[in-house]
Each structure stands twice: as C-alpha cells, then as structure tokens.
Amino acid sequence: MLTKSCSTILIILNLILNLPLIEQTSQQGRRFIHVSERMNWSSAQEYCREHHTDLATIRDQNDIDAIRSISHPCHWDNRCWIGLLRDTTNQIEWNWSDGDESTLREWKMGPPNDVDGNQDCVSLGTVLEWNDDKCDRQLSFVCYDGYDDLIFVKENKTWEDALEHCRNLDIDPSVSDTYLNHVYDLAHMDFGGDNLLARKKVQDSETAEVWIGLRFLAGRWLWVNGTPL
C-alpha cells in the first residue's frame, strides 16, 4: 500500500538536470509558528518568507487544530495576521500568500462586504473567527514551516535512477514490489502556486536544474505519484 509519496519540481523551477528532489506527502510536515512581534501585513509576509515558508495558509481541520495548539494562540484582543489577501483584480475574491488554492474561509460575520480597498488583509481572533482588516495595522502573526515535506538529494543521477532512488528510500524489506509499495517518490509541483518551499530547498543546488516527477508517457504528461495534472 502506498503510504507516502514524493513529487516533482522541474518545469516550475526551470530545472531539468540530475538532482532528485523528494517529497514526503504524509501531511505531517506543516508546522505553524506564532510571532509575537507586531508588524503590518506586508512586513509580516516578508518576515515569514525570510525565516520560515510563508504566512499561514489554512487548508483544513488539521491546520485549524495545529494553530489552536501553538503556544501563543491568537484571540479576540490579540489578533494575528494570516496569509489571506484580497484579490487586486476582483474585490470579492481572496488569495493565499503562498499561492495555495484552499477555499476554506471562516469569516466571523460572513463574507466581507467592504470592497473600497480599505480592508484588504485578513486577521484572525480564533481560528474560526476571520476578519478583513486594514493591512497597515500592527499585529502579531502566524507563519508556517513546510520543510519536512521535501527532501533535497544532492546526488547526480539520470531521471530514471532518481526515481528508483526515491522509491527505494525507507522501504519495507518484506515487500518485493517497490513500484506499488513505496514511501517516497519524485516530487510533484503546484502549477497554481509559486512553490516557495521547493525553490528554497534547491537554492543551494550545485547544478542549474533538478529532477521532478513529471514525465511524458503514452502521449500525455503525468505525475509519477498519480497526482492529477
């Protein structure tokens, strides 16, 4: 049974060479960090991108539970920035700072109706109370780390050898078919986002390109871990 998989990174990063980049997709790698220092939204975003991955994206109940468990939770009189920002081209739409396409919204009083450009950033009191807010307010904020999701391998290989290398990591020795029963795979990318985590992982690469898990087979492109393209 496939328990975890690695994905791929090549086209987004303009990378095509011999370094495998491996992703562990166990959903256990994201970690949220509350930063008590108060900043406006843009400065908070810059801080998170420099020291972590980005401002917090909230995708599901697991993320809600994780934010609830951090040591300095946000509350009604200590609101925190998260990575949700009003779309500049469509005032009723909201986008995540890291490009994630999560549609989860937990507006405290229903969807914001202020479309005059005055309250374009989102803060939370509790994880179930999101408010549109003025972006220049000085608030604490929540970042996230996702570095446990990806493993960068600094070892030159062909694409096929990189795939084999990934799929033979941490395998169950009692299982003979590593093609169907493996823990890791070459990584897949989110073509809707900017893949900050992947780009940060490979910035110290000794080659200009790295391998990802996208390949052309039987007349079409596909991710080798089965993720829909």
Is the residue at 205 inside a domain? no
pLDDT score, position 14:
36
pLDDT score, position 121:
95
pLDDT score, position 206:
80
**Per-residue pLDDT tens digits for 31-89:** 788 999 999 999 999 999 888 889 999 988 888 888 888 766 788 788 999 999 999 88
Is the residue at 103 inside a domain? yes
**What's 39's domain CATH number?**
3.10.100.10
Which DSSP string do the residues of 174-210 spell out, in sequence order? T---TTTS-S-EE----TTS--HHHHHHTTT-SSS--
Alpha carbon 197 to its chain's center = 6
Is the residue at 229 inside a domain? no
- C-beta of residue 108 within 8 angstroms of C-beta of residue 131: yes
pLDDT score, position 4:
42
Length, in residues, of the chain: 229
Is the residue at 206 inside a domain? no
Rounded Cα–Cα distance for residues 53 and 144 (Å): 6
Token pair of 135, please?
């972006």
Token pair of 179, please?
């093609």
Asked if residue 120 has pLDDT above 90, the reply is yes
Q: How many distinct structural domains can be found in the chain?
A: 1
Is the residue at 85 inside a domain? yes
**Per-residue pLDDT tens digits for 121-148:** 999 988 778 999 999 999 999 998 765 5
Is the residue at 98 inside a domain? yes
| Exposure class string for 78-113: b at 16+ Cβ within 10 A, else e | ebbbbbbbbeeeeeeebbbbbbbeeeeeeeeeeebe
pLDDT score, position 134:
93
**% residues pLDDT > 70 (the chain):** 73
pLDDT score, position 143:
93
Is the residue at 55 inside a domain? yes
Is the residue at 97 inside a domain? yes
**Per-residue pLDDT tens digits for 144-163:** 876 556 778 888 899 999 99
pLDDT score, position 115:
58
Q: In a 3-state reduction of DSSP, which class is residue 55? A: strand
pLDDT score, position 219:
93
Domain with 35 in it: 31-145
Q: Is 76 exposed, middle or buried (0-12, 13-18, 19+ CB in 10 A)?
A: exposed
- C-beta of residue 125 within 8 angstroms of C-beta of residue 140: no
